[in-house]
Structure 1
C-alpha cells in the first residue's frame, strides 16, 4: 500500500508542476479589483477554455497530492 501512495504522490506532483508551468500569467494583476476589465472575470465561456482546464487539473492534482501525502505520513 505504501508503494501505491508513493507512486500516487510522484504522479500527482509531476502533473501539478506541469500544470502550473503551463498556465499563463495574469498581466492585469490586482487591476481587476479596482474596476479593471470585467471581461477577464466574466466574459469567457466557463469550463471550456485551456486556462480553465489547466486550473482544474492543478486543483485536482493538489488535492490528490495532499491526501496521499497525509496518508503516507500517517503510516
Structure 2
C-alpha cells in the first residue's frame, strides 16, 4: 500500500511540475506585477482556453499532492 501511494505521489508531483511550467507568465517585471495584480483583483483579465485548463489542473493536482502526502506520512508511521 505504501509503495502504491508513493508511486502515485511521484506521478502527481511530475504532473504538477509540468502544469506549472506550461502556464504562461502573468506579468513582466516589478511594474507588471503591480499592474497585473490590480487587473486580476478587479477581474479585468480572465483566463481562457489552455490557460484556464492548466489553472484548474494545477489546483486539482495540488490538492491531490496534499492528500497523498498526508496519506504517505500517516501510513509510514
- 2:29 is equivalent to residue 29 of structure 1: no
Query: When the two structures are superposed, what TM-score results if normalisation uses the length of structure 2?
Result: 0.75
Give the Cα–Cα distance (whole angstroms) in 2 for the partners of residues 59 and 26 of structure 1.
17
Give the Cα–Cα distance (whole angstroms) in 1 for the partners of residues 24 and 34 of structure 2.
16
Structure 2 unaligned spans of 5+: none
Structure 1 unaligned spans of 5+: none
Cα gap change, 1:37 to 1:53, in 2 (>3 Å) = closer
Query: When the two structures are superposed, what TM-score results if normalisation uses the length of structure 1?
Result: 0.77
Q: Which has the higher helix share?
A: 2
Shift of 1:36: 8.4
> Which structure 1 residue ranges, 4+ long, deviate > 6 Å from structure 2?
34-37
RMSD (Å), alpha carbons: 2.4
User: Number of aligned pairs?
Assistant: 69
Return 56-65 or 22-31, whichever deviates more. Answer: 22-31
